[in-house]
A and B are shown apart, each in its own frame.
Chain A
Amino acid sequence: MSVKQLVVLSGKGGTGKTTLTAALAEQVERTLVADCDVEAPNLYLLLRPRTIRSYVVNVSRKASIDPEICTYCGECQKVCRFGAISGFQVERHACEGCGLCERVCPAGAVSMEEPAGGEIFVGETPYGKMVWARLALGEEASGKVVSQVRMEAQALAVEEGYDLILVDGSPGIGCPVIASVSGADMVLVVAEPTLSGRHDLARVLDTVSFFQIPSLVCINKCDLNEEEAKRIRAECFCRGVEVVAEIPYIEELAEAARLCVTPMDVLEGGAADLLRRLYDEVMGRMGIQSSRPMA
């Protein structure tokens, strides 16, 4: 059986992606979890994986000029479109690593360095294996690190016979998000009923449908603003996107986020039922038989 991939997104940050991803991970019998929010990786704080192995990845190159060899002809500066070379020195953060300066330098004074882009971690949680990353200081090419996390997760899932990869995505709709969703089977968008939350939801749903991936919506903190919640429901209805769950503001959930404990551990009664329903609905839409270990 092929591995299915569910990506949790939000558009707007802070709507509850990571908390709900953890709640899903806790309920599934065995899942591989991948944290693709490499710029602000938080899921490992909740799931507390034990690291099994880690390795450094190089994702970008930076030009460097050897002043001993440089003849100060200025050719490199002339061709660089990123304004990364001035005074015969490279401004590291502006350099995108295209290598054109190296290519045109008549003296061979420019070399391309490959700094560590980040570290990929594989660990063990009570719910299955987990893959996450730490971006190296100053590394900007986060989309490429996201792709590395997904490649590791996919290889691991095939090798160890997982049928589900649960991906915690990043906010926004740009490079890291696109790297997180490409080739996924389903996207779950966590929306919050605020004016900006609704606006951002529309942009992320546009993006997901641009890549022709089916999506589901969960409205989190749905009782914060009933008017906005209504508008979100209408927006989803018009797009033919199903709202699979609505979760009110739950103080215990906020407290769990503050203290970094997994949600299903602290929730009881009706609140826990809501998260169970979310799980059942999402797995049902993905055609995955929900086999809950604790049920």
Chain B
Amino acid sequence: MALVIAVVSGKGGTGKTLVAVNLALALAGEGLQVRLIDCDVEEPNDHLFLRPEIRYTEQVELAVPRVDPEKCDLCRTCVDFCAFNALALAGNRIMVFDELCHSCGGCSLLCPNDAVREESVTIGSVECGSARGKSGSEVIRFCQGVLKIGEPRATPIVQRLKERFEEGAVNILDGGPGTGCSVMETVRGADYCLLVTEPTQFGLHDLGMALQMVQELGVPHGVIINKYIPGGCGVETWCVSNGLQVHLRIPYRREYSLLYSRGLNLVEEIPEWRGRFIHVFRRVEEEVEELLNRGRSTKDGVGNPDRHPIVK
């Protein structure tokens, strides 16, 4: 079984990458099998902090329609069917807007004249490899998705990344900002979600949106407060009143911002952080196990007995 932990935030720049990368490094340092998957395909940054060796690249393609003008009799079946307005009748031909197409295949299936075939277009890539920590002993299996410039469809790349989950490993998914489709796809089906926030009104507001999203998806969750200032903006009070566990507080220090700006990692530069991130993981692990046990005792067959222990 794979354990999957997603890291999201709502607001951008709160420290998703920091949490995902440092958690991965801390766990790898403990000898755990770790796979870090950067699902922020619009702006993937984990690689900057881990400098992985990429050994495998695969293009992510989508099938888009191409209309054969010889066979097309301009019946408009495809145009009328397409819910995304990716096809339009312009004069005496059908125009295709690739970037609006969701690749549902309806146009080619429904065309009465068999005039629509599909062609693959590349929307980005998935890159995999491995990274070593500073000490050289910890190994992190690494994957990232990279959206092609000018391409709006990010979600299919996240879907492809999710095929890379590793059995027996802790899979850490670094999500993008916001609560839109690619972030929802990142969180959907995860065992746990870490919500990273900061003590500003913006951070708090967007934490509320992210919380609604994980609740809607039914994923267990806890909070990490970055750039922490005691009492700052009432984030902690808010968490308590919403029944949220705060797993970690990373204080607001210029030194930490500086490390981050240089692409250096907290757990490697300031060793006490290693233990703190491992502690977060142990709490997450406990919570997930407890939920599984609860599921098993109430409903037969919900929990998977092979699942224990999650991490040996």
Interface positions of A (Cβ within 8 A of B): 10-15, 18, 37, 39-40, 42, 45, 61, 79, 81-82, 93-94, 96-100, 103-104, 135, 137-138, 140-143, 170-179, 192-197, 199-200, 203-204, 206-207, 210-211, 224-225, 227-228, 257-260
Contact = CB atoms under 8 A, between A and B. Distances in A.
Interface of chain A, helix or strand or loop or mixed?
loop
A140 B43 contact: no
A53 B183 CA distance: 30
A280 to B, nearest CB: 27
Interface in B136-195: 147, 149-154, 176-184, 188
A42 B83 CA distance: 31
B147 A171 contact: no
A196 B260 CA distance: 9
Nearest to A209: B149
Contact of B109 (A13, A100, A175, A260): A100
Contact of B106 (A99, A137, A172, A203): A99
Interface in B251-281: 257-258, 260-263
Given A98-B102, A99-B106, A225 B152 contact: no
A194 B179 contact: no
Given A103-B81, A172-B176, A258-B233, A142 B45 contact: no
Interface in B176-217: 176-184, 188, 198-202, 205-206, 209, 212-213, 216-217
B202 A42 contact: yes
B42 interface: yes
A99 B84 CA distance: 10
A180 B147 CA distance: 18
| Smallest CB-CB A-B distances: 6 pairs | A13-B12, A14-B13, A39-B178, A98-B104, A172-B42, A140-B181
Contacts of B217: 93
A203 B152 CA distance: 13
Nearest to A37: B178
B209 A207 contact: no
Nearest to B180: A142
A172 B43 contact: yes
Contact of A81 (B9, B83, B105, B150): B105
A142 B178 contact: yes
B121 interface: no
A81 B11 CA distance: 31
Contacts of B198: 14
20 contacts: A13-B9, A13-B11, A15-B13, A39-B179, A39-B183, A40-B206, A42-B202, A42-B206, A45-B201, A81-B104, A138-B216, A140-B181, A171-B176, A171-B178, A172-B42, A193-B261, A194-B261, A195-B262, A199-B43, A228-B262
Given A12-B43, A39-B183, A96-B102, 11 more contacts: A12-B45, A37-B178, A81-B103, A99-B83, A135-B209, A138-B216, A142-B181, A170-B177, A171-B178, A174-B182, A175-B153
Contacts of B10: 39-40
B110 interface: yes
B206 A200 contact: no
Contact of A99 (B49, B81, B103, B201): B81
Contact of B178 (A94, A103, A170, A199): A170
B206 A174 contact: no
B90 interface: no
Contact of B83 (A39, A97, A170, A192): A97
B17 interface: yes
B102 A40 contact: no
B154 A257 contact: no
Given A42-B205, A98-B106, A173 B149 contact: yes
Contacts of B109: 79, 100, 104
Contacts of A199: 43, 45, 48
A176 B181 CA distance: 10
B262 to A, nearest CB: 6
A11 B150 CA distance: 13
B182 A40 contact: no
Contacts of A260: 200-202
A177 B188 CA distance: 23
B295 interface: no
A28 to B, nearest CB: 22
Given A138-B216, A175-B180, A100 B48 contact: no
A37 to B, nearest CB: 8
A100 B200 contact: no
A79 B105 contact: yes
B304 to A, nearest CB: 19
Contacts of B260: 194, 196
A178 B177 contact: no
Contact of A203 (B42, B206, B263): B42
Contact of A196 (B45, B150, B152, B200): B45
